[in-house]
Chains A and B, each alone.
Chain A
Amino acid sequence: MLRIANLVKSYGKADPVLKGLDLEVPGESMVSIIGASGAGKSTLIRCINRLVEPTSGTIELNGVKLTELKGKALRLARRRIGMVFQSFNLVDRLTVMENVQSGRLGYIPTWRAALRRYPKQDIRRAFELMERVGIAHYANKRADALSGGERQRVGVVRALMQEPEILLADEPTASLDPKTSEQIMALLRSLSRELHLPVLINIHNVAEAKAYTDRIVGMRYGRIIFDDVPAKLDDEAMERIYSGIPAEDRRADAPIPAEASAIPAERQVEAQPS
């Protein structure tokens, strides 16, 4: 169970990116977070494993208060949080096996990692998982030799090697073509079921969110404004999430105010000979 309470993240004096978020993800559910760019989806996900440092509020995973951890305790807690990235973030010059085993770095001693003397059970688990997602034959290939879909599979296996209690996915399909993207979503869903793993996915593609996840959370300007089953995400809800900016929000957050678009026009007028 992931429990987020009153989460705030602000950068400097600017308006907060997250404004007191509350969210609970119970075990085994696949939850997607949708919202326009800049809504704070990525910041929310990154606060959970503290790649981004929250300003205030608490995040708790199965009883462990993630927001209070420091140093080694934080590293140990991160082992239990798998993450899949939009741009895969594989180490290009290492082999697929080394990339997969990097998911175990929090568990094995540094000398083992440095010499690539991985424990037997880790190697077996790696082959099992790679077999499961169909990339076992690439074990000795360099990561940059794989296609986008294959690379994201490596990313998923790396995250699963951590034996995570939750899987975070930050736009996992945004760099993939539509077909591959559906395959990855289907893979995430079936893995979630098989491993009884809660999955939290940031996603731009609303159709995929509806098709593959159990619950949709809609964000707008650092707040959750929709949280329900996919069937309830109707046109009215979409409208609230993606457009029709209320005046109050616009003042604080609107990324491109109306005046900004007027500037080029002014320049044009100046350039005109009178």
Chain B
Amino acid sequence: MTDIALTSVPVDAPALPKSRGYLATVGRRLRYDYVTLVFLAVIVLIAAAALLAPLIAPFDPLKTSMAYRLKPIGFRNFLLGTDELGRDMASRLLYGGRMSLLMGLTPVAVASVVGGCLGVVAGFFGGRVNTVIMRTVDVFYAFPSVLLAVAISGTMGGGVLNGLIALTLVFIPPICRVSETATTQVRHLDFVDAARASGASGWRIVVYHILSNVAAPVFIYASSLISVSILLSAGLSFLGLGVTPPTPDWGQMLANLRQAIYVQPLVCALPGIAIFVTSLSFNMVSDGLRQAMDVKS
């Protein structure tokens, strides 16, 4: 294969197109990626439905009714049926989306900032700082993510805040590793040396030269974690950790409806479908972004 490189030099290479900015290139690639756009639209739809829940929900999601327990999909005004306490499923699913999105996005966002910074610090300073940070990260890598999340929120007890803390702690180590790798890769490149030679301070080098190269891989990696975070947080609520009743949450609804699979199997499957569609959409958009931004996994 080596001789091909010598012989196949293009004779009259076409003039290079005028280069666009990086973000414009990414945007252009995304505009023609219809699959990603469709799933992006789904995410926007889900987010809008969750945000506007108080306006569009047909019923009060907390109002129970002994007379209308476990009604099928399309029963009278109950578009998607009712749950085991006679609460309207459609309204609960809309309100539940708020919790699920909050529990899915917040831990990843916080962990990106904390883990990203830790990784940059470890990669940029190297030496003993690196050893301390990265060996600590290694220890947390010794726990499968589900186990770590369950361990932390299980001992601290249920509740939204404890769930958020547990998930954030789960995501910091992997994000830190990605950020550390990216930092070590650029740290010794010529442009960093050039910046240092021209008198830039360490702080300026990190902010202007390192961060701009670390941001893309960390962002892409973090976006792929959103779907994991949604699945995990719903899983915690399913186990009775995470969101506590009566606040509606998809995972917790699924757990409560489990007893009713013999009565209304279709209604019982609904919260899971909501979790599935949301996590699938985030996965697809993350894949699309990875390709558009040209970041290797």
Query: Do A and B belong to a common assembly?
Result: no
List A residues at the B interface (Cβ < 8 Å). Answer: none
List B residues at the A interface (Cβ < 8 Å). Answer: none
